[in-house]
Amino acid sequence: MRADARDNRARIMTAADDVFGRSPGASTDDVARLAGVGIATVFRHFATKTELLEAVLTLRLERIRDRALELAGSDDPGTAFFEFFTQVVSESASKLAIAEALTAAGAAAGEEAREAGRGMREAFSGLLTAAQKAGAVRADAEMPEVYALLIGASRGATAAKLDPETRDRMLALIYDGLKPRG
Amino acid sequence: MRADARDNRARIMTAADDVFGRSPGASTDDVARLAGVGIATVFRHFATKTELLEAVLTLRLERIRDRALELAGSDDPGTAFFEFFTQVVSESASKLAIAEALTAAGAAAGEEAREAGRGMREAFSGLLTAAQKAGAVRADAEMPEVYALLIGASRGATAAKLDPETRDRMLALIYDGLKPRG
DNA sequence: GTATAAACGGAGTGATGACTTCGAATATAT
DNA sequence: ATATATTCGAAGTCATCACTCCGTTTATAC
């Protein structure tokens, strides 16, 4: 692959991440314009708009998964779990599309993105069970509902455009529900 | 207003509520077809698609507000609060779809819908303070974060397509965080 | 430096969907 | 029953967007 082609591909990905992050309904032309390339170039690298969206989504999911895996090495599983949770939520609040990305991952996404979503959930599940073994999270909370909480908190924070203080107060309420009964 | 016109208007509203509740991206033609009227009739009653969406959204918000006001009369404020919360979350799927359609249509909610939303929030706030006075909800939880939880739970349940059991388990976690510390 | 294969951009194309127009149909007043 | 004012629906218009074609440019191998 020629050097300029690789450059352009990277620029398109970055632009798409930015544009679709701001408004999911944006057009392919918008992406091309921001990337500073012609529209044909976008379609040469990504055969369809869906393919482009999937590539961006996959990248985001993998980034989140990597952070989870990184935190999994921590020697304080409780802190690791809550820190990850908080980080995902606050990132989604600033970057409007992350919540939608999470949804799309579970729902009708292509194989690549679905795989990335699976990896992310697995990493999160690992954090959860470790935190439970350490006694930081109640043992009767299971993955499906805890994951639902994560998505819900993310989407809620984004949709309601919460300021950081309110967001933290909301998270504090959620965490109190997740901690073992005193 | 002629009788057939009023009839059609009602049929269009019902059809729109149904169609947009199912898929936010639906076209005006879809609505007309389900309502059994021509497309021009839809536009005669609602000048733009946005206007139609707003009418439907407003109706839904008012219905929720009425439910809250109804429960406000209860002599068990704690139960009333949690029952309302649960009900909103389980019914949220279609309401959110409509709200999403509205934002997708470009226009943020217009004055009418915004007013309905305000009324709904006020009614919810009343339920909350009553439940707190009755000792069923911790006193240090304030409206913004509790409302954020409501939105988050709704959006999360919808986005993750939770089955009822998981949804209830998620709500149980949230409610544990909202109850006074044991 | 030149050849050539690869990549580029911008002007199309076709489909879709919001909205309009206008002649046909129908409810109500007389 | 008839007049007429109002409503109806099907066939348009126009803008937008995903995607393609093709002549031009540019990186790299020799």
Q: Which residues does B61 contact at the CB level (< 8 Å), separation at least 6?
A: B95, B113, B116, B117, B119, B120
- Average pLDDT for B73-97: 93
CA angle A30, A34, A37 (to 5 degrees): 95
Nearest to B130 by CA among B64, B65, B71: B71
The residues close to strand D, meaning Cβ under 7 A, are: A 2-4, 27-29, 39-40, 43, 47-50; B 1-2, 4-5, 7-8, 36-41, 44-45
Per-residue pLDDT at A27: 93
Task: Select from A142, A144, A173 the Cβ nearest to the Cβ of B149.
Answer: A173
Q: Residue B46 CB: number of other CB atoms within 10 A?
A: 21
CB contact under 8 A, A173 and B146: yes
Of the listed ranges B37-41, B54-58, B98-102, the one predicted with least confidence = B98-102
What span, in angstroms and rounded, lies between the C-alpha atoms of A48 and A59? 17
Helix (H) or strand (E) holding A12: helix A3-22
User: Tens digits of per-residue pLDDT, B121-140?
Assistant: 999 999 999 999 999 999 99
Distance B37 CA to D2 C1' (A): 28
Percent of chain A at pLDDT > 70 equals 90
Burial of A36 (0-12, 13-18, 19+ CB in 10 A): exposed
Per-residue pLDDT at A110: 76
Q: Calculate the average pLDDT of chain B.
A: 92
User: Tens digits of per-residue pLDDT, B93-117?
Assistant: 888 888 877 776 766 677 888 899 8
Per-residue pLDDT at B110: 79
User: Tens digits of per-residue pLDDT, A117-147?
Assistant: 899 999 999 999 999 999 999 999 999 999 9
- Per the structure, the residue whose CA is closest to nucleotide C17 at C1' is B27
**Greater pLDDT, B110 or A54:** A54
Per-residue pLDDT at A106: 47
B54-178 topology per CATH:
Tetracycline Repressor; domain 2 (1.10.357)
Does A91 have pLDDT greater than 90? no
Distance A5 CA to C3 C1' (A): 21
- Average pLDDT for A57-83: 93
Q: Residue A146 CB: number of other CB atoms within 10 A?
A: 24
DSSP string, B37-59: S-HHHHHHHSSSHHHHHHHHHHH
| Residue where the block lists tokens 């209860």 | B74
Nearest to B20 by CA among B54, B61, B69: B54
Does A94 have pLDDT greater than 70? no
Of the listed ranges A39-43, A157-161, B46-50, B121-125, the one predicted with least confidence = A157-161
Select from 3.40.50.720, 3.30.930.10, 1.10.10.60, 3.30.70.100 the CATH code of A1-47. Answer: 1.10.10.60
- Both tokens of A145, joined, read 């509902």
CB contact under 8 A, B177 and A182: no
Distance A27 CA to D17 C1' (A): 7
Percent of chain A at pLDDT > 90 equals 67
What is chain B's Cα-based Rg?
A: 18
What span, in angstroms and rounded, lies between the C-alpha atoms of A87 and A70? 13
Please, which pLDDT band fits residue A98 given cuts at 50, 70 and 90? low
Long-range interactions of B132-140: CB distance < 8 A, separation 24+ = B133/B77, B134/B76, B134/B77, B134/B78, B135/B78, B135/B180, B136/B77, B136/B78, B136/B79, B136/B81, B136/B82, B136/B179, B136/B180, B137/B78, B137/B81, B137/B178, B137/B179, B137/B180, B138/B178, B138/B179, B138/B180, B138/B181, B139/B180
**Chain B nearest-CA residue for A99:** B159
Does A107 contact chain B (CB < 8 Å)?
yes
Per-residue pLDDT at B109: 73
Please, which pLDDT band fits residue B149 given cuts at 50, 70 and 90? very high
Nucleotides of D under 7 A from a protein CB: 6-12, 16-22, 26-28
User: From the CA of A16, how many Å to the nearest CA of chain B?
Assistant: 18
Per-residue pLDDT at B96: 84
Does A30 have pLDDT greater than 50? yes
Q: Where are chain B's structural domains?
A: 1-47, 54-178
Nucleotides of C under 7 A from a protein CB: 6-12, 16-22, 26-28
Does A102 have pLDDT greater than 60? no
Per-residue pLDDT at A99: 52
Does A101 have pLDDT greater than 60? no
Q: Which CATH class is domain A57-178?
A: mainly alpha
The residues close to strand C, meaning Cβ under 7 A, are: A 1-2, 4-5, 7-8, 36-41, 44-45; B 2-4, 27-29, 39-40, 43, 47-50
What span, in angstroms and rounded, lies between the C-alpha atoms of B173 and A178? 6
How many residues in total does chain A contain? 182
3-state secondary structure of A96: coil
Does B173 contact chain A (CB < 8 Å)?
yes
- Average pLDDT for A58-77: 93
Does A148 contact chain B (CB < 8 Å)?
yes
Which of A27, A145, A150, A166 is the best substitution to test chain B (most B C-beta atoms within 10 A)? A145
Which of B170, B171, B178, B179 is the best substitution to test chain A (most A C-beta atoms within 10 A)? B170
Evaluate whether B48 touches B36 at the Cβ level (below 8 Å).
Answer: no
